Amino acid sequence: MYLRGVGPQRAELLKKELGIFTFGDLLLHFPHRHIDKSEVRPIGSIATETDYVQVRGLLGPLKLSGGKPAQRRLTSTLSDPTGTIDLIWFQGVNWIHRSLVPGARYLLYGRLSFFNGKAQIGHPELELVSGPEQAPKWALEPVYPCTEKLRSRGLGPRAIAGLVASVLEILSDHDIAENLPAAILEEFKLIGRRKAFLQIHFPKTAQEFLQAQRRLKFEELFLSQVRICRLKIRRHGSSRGFHFSKVGDLFNRFYREKLPFQLTGAQKKVLREIRTDTASGHQMNRLLQGDVGSGKTIVALLSMLLAVDNGYQACLMAPTEILSRQHFSSIRTLLGDLPVSIGLLTGNIKGKARKQVLEQIGSGATRIMVGTHALIEEGVRFHNLALVIIDEQHRFGVAQRAGLWSKSAQAPHVLVMTATPIPRTLSMTLYGDLDVSVMGELPAGRKPVRTLHCGEERRHAVLGFVKEEVAKGRQAYFVYPLIEESEKSDYENLMKGWEEVRAYFSGTGYGISMVHGRQTPEDRRAQMEDFVQGRARIMVATTVIEVGVDVSNATVMVIESAERFGLSQLHQLRGRVGRGGESSTCILVTRLSPGDPGLSRIRVMEQTNDGFLIADKDLEFRGPGDIEGTRQSGVLDFRIADISQDRLILEAARGAVIQLLTRDPDLREPGHASLRSYLEGRKSAWSKIS
């Protein structure tokens, strides 16, 4: 309101339309591009391929035409010694008519179009030229995000640029105080803060703009990393955790008598990390990233046995009913006759059965619980829950993760397991407060899944291939996209596919099961079970099979309309095959014609089985907003940084933060005073966010 050119009414508009309340907000309202106004062209040199032009000349007579207000238009021309160009306005005609001076010299900037073969500019920006040679106000003029409403009240991008310029004039170096330590500025060759704001809005050269952008991105990522890392340090320092003092009988007996295979080096390493965490007296917060098939379940089970050995309860949460049941039954099988009681709780367990389960949880009779998020619902009270394992975390919201804490007076240890390798940039920002374990090794003897792309037209060959494999005694999946289970056309495609597969395999006697989201849970379970037991040799399904399903005899997966899936999702699906010793194949069927850009994504799938690489690519292709589970998190609401592009800056910033906080966790050093006071000034804002 107090800025020259604003006042109460416009201040209100800026608030409403752009969320700009303060000078600071205005500085953070970054231009989305700049236009080069350093060049003034002769009108005669304008050619059809020109996009935006800046010319200077004399304004011709103004002509108003059209009757009704909606049809009125204003036309004129601009001429210089080399030629003449037509100008036209459709809106705000009267006002523009009044404000222009025919015969005067104007500097014009606008977007060129051609009408009846003649160059014309609609709604040009015009600036009266007073002196003979006037340099443009800004060589690179910022263009700001704006709204129609603001435009109509005289607060278009140009006016906003004027406001930003006045703010920058008013504010001194002291007002836009440096918040990064001098040593950091030097190490990373970053320009100062005030200079950066000046150059991001009004750069003289492209180089200046890039310098400013890099500095401000670094600042933003650096500050968010400081916050995340301090959270982690504080948690390590203060929060008490359940103390698992010993490795007991259950763990040892299971290890010696029941474990069906040798653990991989990676599994052992992660178990050691968990053992160390849970014996430290602090609460564990660990993220376990292990590619599909790397054997996370057994790590979860051994960790839970550790909790039980120490007299506590543990639980394992999975995102779906199917997966919970599968975990429950495989864990029960693995445990065999070991004396430990395990329970299952999902949304479908109701009434008397549910009541009974709840009692056993409450009394502590059940030591290990497996289930869906039903486990953290109202009314579930554990006796002494000390370890929570979340499988496939990305499907749990952040709020659900937080909900776990209310289950017990003391925060349980938390192990988050994900098979969707999270791109490094994302895990640094979303889970930067967690310790991270990576299982980068698959159990010995696995053969990588061979992946092939196949056009629609060759589907008969695909079916033939599947038939051969099944004839060898193997099992096969056909997967259809059903992103929204309610999508009608998707559902029809699935049914068509099912008919087609059934017709093709009729007479072979192979059972075919089908799983999708519209079935009742009982139906779905029965169909699943048929496939798991091998009664059905072929499964036609939607992505409900995506997570965790484990049928090691399945060696073929055909993914229909593969171009509609995200890369990480394709990788997840593909992980359902190649789980046994046989070599497996995944066929991606698409309708993409040669040269379609979508093919480059399919190529990635053909070329690598490395989930981390795929996750990084996925982030590149889709941008961070689309990665599952991050959308509403707010953690990624950066103003200028973009973690799908700025990985290098993020890594540099994180490295610098870790180094800095290791040496000076409380920011006591004089060189860190500016950073500290900046963070303290921001505290209220941060706490609101978190």
| Residue 552 engages ligand ADP in binding (rule: CB under 6 A) | yes
Q: Among 158, 227, 424, 579, which residue sits at the site for ligand ADP (rule: CB under 6 A)?
A: 579
Q: At closest approach, how far in Å is the CB of 448 from ligand ADP? A: 14
Q: At closest approach, how far in Å is the CB of 390 from ligand ADP? A: 13
Q: Which is nearer to Mg ion, 387 or 417 (CB)?
A: 417
- Partner from ligand ADP, Mg ion, none contacting 264, C-beta within 5 to 8 A by type: ligand ADP
Question: Which stretch, 59-67, 75-83, 546-554, 641-649, contacts Mg ion (CB under 5 A)?
Answer: 546-554
d(CA 201, CA 223) in angstroms, rounded, equals 21
Q: At closest approach, how far in Å is the CB of 321 from Mg ion? A: 15
| Residue 264 engages ligand ADP in binding (rule: CB under 6 A) | yes
- Among 329, 331, 315, residue whose Cα is nearest residue 374: 315
Task: Mark residues 413-442: x for contact with ligand ADP by CB under 6 A, - for none.
Answer: ------x-----------------------
d(CA 219, CA 642) in angstroms, rounded, equals 13
- Among 414, 352, 404, 345, residue whose Cα is nearest residue 376: 404
Please count the CA atoms within 13 angstroms of the CA of 285 that sit on its side-chain side: 19
Q: At closest approach, how far in Å is the CB of 443 from ligand ADP? A: 3
Q: At closest approach, how far in Å is the CB of 316 from Mg ion? A: 10
- Partner from Mg ion, ligand ADP, none contacting 343, C-beta within 5 to 8 A by type: none
Residue 256 token pair:
């010696």
- Among 398, 391, 389, residue whose Cα is nearest residue 430: 398
Q: Report the residue closest to ligand ADP, judged by CB.
A: 295
- Partner from Mg ion, ligand ADP, none contacting 290, C-beta within 5 to 8 A by type: ligand ADP
Q: At closest approach, how far in Å is the CB of 204 from Mg ion? A: 55
Q: At closest approach, how far in Å is the CB of 475 from ligand ADP? A: 14
- Beta carbons of 571 and 605 less than 8 angstroms apart: yes
| Residue 532 engages ligand ADP in binding (rule: CB under 6 A) | no
Q: Which is nearer to ligand ADP, 292 or 577 (CB)?
A: 292
Q: Among 214, 296, 424, 576, which residue sits at the site for ligand ADP (rule: CB under 6 A)?
A: 296
Q: Which is nearer to ligand ADP, 342 or 512 (CB)?
A: 342
From the CB of residue 293, how many other CB atoms can be counted at a distance below 10 Å?
Answer: 21
At residue 423, φ and ψ (nearest 5 deg) are -55, 145
Question: Across the strands, what pairs with 59?
Answer: 78
Among positive and negative, which fits the CA dihedral 656, 659, 665, 668? negative
Question: Which stretch, 11-19, 241-249, 285-293, 586-594, contacts ligand ADP (CB under 6 A)?
Answer: 285-293
Question: Which stretch, 144-152, 311-319, 428-436, 545-553, contacts Mg ion (CB under 5 A)?
Answer: 545-553
Q: Which is nearer to Mg ion, 155 or 300 (CB)?
A: 300
Q: At closest approach, how far in Å is the CB of 391 from Mg ion? A: 6
Give the DSSP H or E segment for 69: none
d(CA 370, CA 318) in angstroms, rounded, equals 8
Q: Which is nearer to ligand ADP, 297 or 585 (CB)?
A: 297
| Residue 265 engages ligand ADP in binding (rule: CB under 6 A) | no
Q: What is the DSSP string of 399-418?
A: HHHHHGGGGSSSPPEEEEEE
Q: Which is nearer to ligand ADP, 265 or 634 (CB)?
A: 265
- Those residues whose C-beta lies under 8 Å from the C-beta of residue 679, and which sit 6 or more positions away, are 223, 226, 227, 667, 686
d(CA 17, CA 261) in angstroms, rounded, equals 62
Q: Which is nearer to ligand ADP, 87 or 439 (CB)?
A: 439
Q: Which is nearer to ligand ADP, 295 or 412 (CB)?
A: 295
d(CA 665, CA 660) in angstroms, rounded, equals 7
| Residue 550 engages ligand ADP in binding (rule: CB under 6 A) | yes
d(CA 62, CA 75) in angstroms, rounded, equals 6
Extended beta strands in 488-614, E state = 511-515, 536-541, 554-559, 585-590
Q: Which is nearer to ligand ADP, 155 or 298 (CB)?
A: 298
Residue 323 identity (one-letter amino acid): L
Q: Which is nearer to Mg ion, 31 or 295 (CB)?
A: 295
| Residue 548 engages Mg ion in binding (rule: CB under 5 A) | yes
63-65 and 342-345 beta bridge pairing: unpaired
- Beta carbons of 292 and 571 less than 8 angstroms apart: yes
Question: Which stretch, 282-290, 436-444, 548-556, 642-650, contacts Mg ion (CB under 5 A)?
Answer: 548-556
Q: Which is nearer to ligand ADP, 22 or 583 (CB)?
A: 583
Residue 611 token pair:
């989930």
- Among 193, 254, 259, residue whose Cα is nearest residue 222: 193
Q: Among 155, 292, 317, 512, which residue sits at the site for ligand ADP (rule: CB under 6 A)?
A: 292
Q: Which is nearer to Mg ion, 57 or 548 (CB)?
A: 548
Footprint (CB under 6 A) of ligand ADP, residues 105-124 = none
Q: Among 263, 340, 495, 599, which residue sits at the site for ligand ADP (rule: CB under 6 A)?
A: 263
3-state secondary structure 630-649: CCCCCCCCCCCCCCCCCHHH
Q: Which is nearer to Mg ion, 433 or 550 (CB)?
A: 550
d(CA 52, CA 49) in angstroms, rounded, equals 10
Residue 354 identity (one-letter amino acid): R
Q: Report the residue closest to Mg ion, judged by CB.
A: 548
342-345 and 368-371 beta bridge pairing: parallel
Residue 395 identity (one-letter amino acid): R
- Partner from Mg ion, ligand ADP, none contacting 298, C-beta within 5 to 8 A by type: ligand ADP
Residue 505 token pair:
């395999």
Q: At closest approach, how far in Å is the CB of 376 from Mg ion? A: 19
- Beta carbons of 170 and 6 less than 8 angstroms apart: no
Q: At closest approach, how far in Å is the CB of 328 from Mg ion? A: 13
Which residues make up the interface to ligand ADP (CB under 6 A)?
A: 261-264, 267, 290, 292-298, 419, 443, 550, 552, 579
Which residues make up the interface to Mg ion (CB under 5 A)?
A: 548
